[in-house]
Structure 1
Amino acid sequence: MDIAGLTDFKPPVSGEVLAEMARCYQKSLLLEQAFRLGIFENLAAGRSVAQLAEQMGARPERLALVLDALVSVGLLEKNGDTYTNTVMTNTFLCLHSKFYQGDLLRLQLAPERRRQWERIGDWLKGETIRQPGSTGEVFNPSFIRAMAQATLSHKGFEATLELVAKHPGFGKAKKLLDLGGGHGLYAIALKRLRPELEATIFDLPHAEEVTQEYARQYGAMVAFYAGDFYVDELPKDQDLILAFDVFYGPPAKTKEVLGRVYRSLRPGGYLFTKHWFLDDTRTQPERAALFALMLALSNPTAHVCTCREMAEMLTEVGLAVEKLIPIGDAASTMIIAWKGEGING
């Protein structure tokens, strides 16, 4: 029987995207709970439901439902009554792996972060739903490791390194400064490409421990310069400065730091700055728009720049914008700027 006449049952557009948003929320909570309960650590070598239930003190029939759900979303594999981690899970969710993302997962799925999103209504009425922490509290070692874990698992990392390494300025550079570099992975990787490069990470003092952990892990000697780029002048005569994902504060403060960057560069030196920049409508890319809201929920002074805003600030402090390059991760854009020859100070 033809159902063509039942057009009044068909909405004008599909609502599947809304249903998928809700499912993604469920999946994220399932991931968070499984990680917190230690399921992935305990299944690195595979176990039966009965074995895992005994260790966890769980009811086997209930645990089986959780494990089957984890299989369905691709986090576990099932063979008979035995459950084991997938390669992805062993790579990113088990402590023994050098690509472990535990700090990142705890940050992204933290209950306090979830509560921020649940209180958007209160925030809209002017309430402060989370007090901004001090720099030492926010940028603690776990946060720095989380940023390193995000970097290593992100396709934008390789694209960024390739972009810098293939730029003519990199081959001639003697000094490189990684501004607010934290974990230092970009400087460490570039130092591996050019061992003679004098690579320095500039960040808050407590970041040095994590920086040197990664330097030792990847076999590169990098220097650490302790300071606060909102207050302190930067080391002078730099050929290259990297400023990746650090300028999310008030534009006036960002411009002050860019002035310090200008003074730090030698004539002919380059700044590479990569961020989640918004377009002029401030609605795209999606990840940048969501990120801008997330920052604002906890910090009223936070600001995600548009590419145009950043380019204008660079020009105003005396740097010439060479080009803007999308990184290819559907969110980040690299802006390359340089300090003209014969310009000092």
Structure 2
Amino acid sequence: MSNIREEAKKLREMWGGFRASRVLITANNYRVYDLLKDYQTARSVSEKLKIDLRATEILLDALTSLGLLKKSGDKYKNLPISNHLLTKESPYYQGDMIRHADYLWRNWSELDEVIKTGNPVQRARDYETFIRGMHNLATLKAKSVIKSIDLKGIKTALDLGGGPGTYSMEMAKMGIKVTLFDYPEAIRIAKKIIEEKNVKGINFISGDFIIDDIGSDYDLIFASQILHSYSEKDNILVLKKCKDALNNKGKVVIHEFYISEDRTRPVWGTLFSVNMLVNTTSGRTYTSKEIRKWLIDIGFKNIKERLLDDTVLIEGKIFQTLPTPLKRVTL
């Protein structure tokens, strides 16, 4: 019987997980965390936000139980996690991504129909929230990801489908001449973000990399989190364009969410594939083996792979690196 109880508890955590998510999202929508850098009563919060007092008390208690707030008497304030990630002025702010998650929530609510038809949900989204949400996520890992790439000899780089330009900025800070390629609306928002961060040395190309020219003679093409939105056919097309756009010593570096070869772990990678099912016509989380095969078939050499937490870097070069020849030693 104890095993049944444990199994039921695990199941309850799954079906009840939406509650914590919804509380986090709703509090973010009302900018609750920006008010709680110092202790405030529920009444003070309700009056400032013009929301119901009883509802505010219940919401703040729930946030406290989730480890986001601290309660002392009848007052509440942020715990460090909320100050670091949920307040607008923090350099690691994740609020835009959480607002985008609210959009995803509504799409995921139609998963039953998606599973039946195989067709994604068609719903307009706030594109600036999406792009800034991508920036939120990238700020947590951009520096370490770029440092994980061998940039020796790299003078020019293309950030393909670079969205907010977070990775472009990291490369530009290292003196690399970077070109950011994305849809016109993404470029418009990226320019705002890059100007806010006061980073110089980034060029821009607007277009659709499936059909438009992406430039040429790059030392590096960095493709982060774009392949999962497209079909295998489109990805092979894009990677062929990358090969053609590199100079004769260039390389492509792909950055994607990791999923095991049998597609069953980790949980984040498998659920992200469901997210692509809900929101794209042909996307999914691809295995490293699939991506490596595409690169090999296209003609890339020296394929390398490096696992980074829940993502993976896969590199392919235009040229073959030969082993260093042994030196003749005279005895």
TM-score bracket, normalised by the shorter chain, equals 0.7 to 0.9
Q: 1:146 aligns with which of 133, 138, 146?
A: 133
Three-state SS of the structure 2 residue aligned to 1:171 is coil
Alignment match, 1:334: 313
Alignment match, 2:111: 120
C-alpha displacement of 1:321: 4.0
Separation in 1, partners of 2:35, 2:101: 22
Separation in 2, partners of 1:88, 1:150: 15
Alignment match, 1:47: 40
C-alpha displacement of 1:101: 2.1
Separation in 2, partners of 1:58, 1:278: 42
Q: 1:297 aligns with which of 274, 278, 285?
A: 278
Q: Which amino acid aligns with 1:102?
A: G
C-alpha displacement of 1:127: 6.7
Alignment match, 1:282: 263
1:245-267, Cα deviation, whole Å (9 max, x unpaired): 01120111111111110001111
Alignment match, 2:73: 80
1:219-238 aligned at under 5 Å gives the runs 219-238=199-218
Alignment match, 1:267: 248
The answer to whether the 8 A contact 1:159-1:327 is kept is no
Separation in 1, partners of 2:235, 2:294: 8
C-alpha displacement of 1:191: 1.7
The 3 A distance-change label for structure 1 pair 139 and 276 is farther
317-326 vs 249-258, greater mean Cα deviation: 317-326
Q: Percent identity?
A: 24
C-alpha displacement of 1:128: 4.2
The 3 A distance-change label for structure 1 pair 96 and 317 is same
C-alpha displacement of 1:221: 2.2
Q: Which segments of 5 or more consecutive residues in structure 1 lack a partner in the other structure? A: 1-8
Separation in 1, partners of 2:55, 2:154: 60
Separation in 1, partners of 2:118, 2:316: 40
Alignment match, 1:14: 6
Separation in 2, partners of 1:124, 1:222: 42
The answer to whether the 8 A contact 1:251-1:303 is kept is no
Alignment match, 2:153: 172
Three-state SS of the structure 1 residue aligned to 2:299 is coil
Alignment match, 2:180: 201
Alignment match, 2:144: 159
Separation in 1, partners of 2:238, 2:75: 55
Separation in 2, partners of 1:121, 1:60: 36
Tell me, yes or no, if structure 1 residue 250 matches structure 2 residue 241: no
Q: Which amino acid aligns with 1:144?
A: I
The answer to whether the 8 A contact 2:110-2:121 is kept is no
Alignment match, 1:186: 167
Separation in 1, partners of 2:51, 2:194: 41
The answer to whether the 8 A contact 1:314-1:321 is kept is no
16-25 vs 53-62, greater mean Cα deviation: 53-62
1:142-178, Cα deviation, whole Å (9 max, x unpaired): 211110001113xx434312211xx1xx121121111
Q: Which amino acid aligns with 2:116?
A: K
Alignment match, 2:301: 320
C-alpha displacement of 1:28: 0.7
Q: Which amino acid aligns with 1:275?
A: E
Q: Which amino acid aligns with 1:287?
A: W
Three-state SS of the structure 2 residue aligned to 1:266 is strand
Q: CA RMSD in A?
A: 2.4
Alignment match, 1:240: 220
91-100 vs 267-276, greater mean Cα deviation: 91-100
Q: Which amino acid aligns with 1:294?
A: N
1:19-98 aligned at under 5 Å gives the runs 19-98=12-91
The 3 A distance-change label for structure 1 pair 319 and 43 is same
1:69-94, Cα deviation, whole Å (9 max, x unpaired): 21121211223322122232233222
Q: Which segments of 5 or more consecutive residues in structure 2 lack a partner in the other structure? A: 322-331
Q: Which amino acid aligns with 2:111?
A: I
Q: Which amino acid aligns with 1:337?
A: G
The 3 A distance-change label for structure 1 pair 291 and 242 is same
Q: Which amino acid aligns with 2:95?
A: G
1:19-43, Cα deviation, whole Å (9 max, x unpaired): 3224432111111122223322332
Three-state SS of the structure 2 residue aligned to 1:260 is helix
Q: Which amino acid aligns with 2:164?
A: H
The answer to whether the 8 A contact 1:267-1:339 is kept is yes
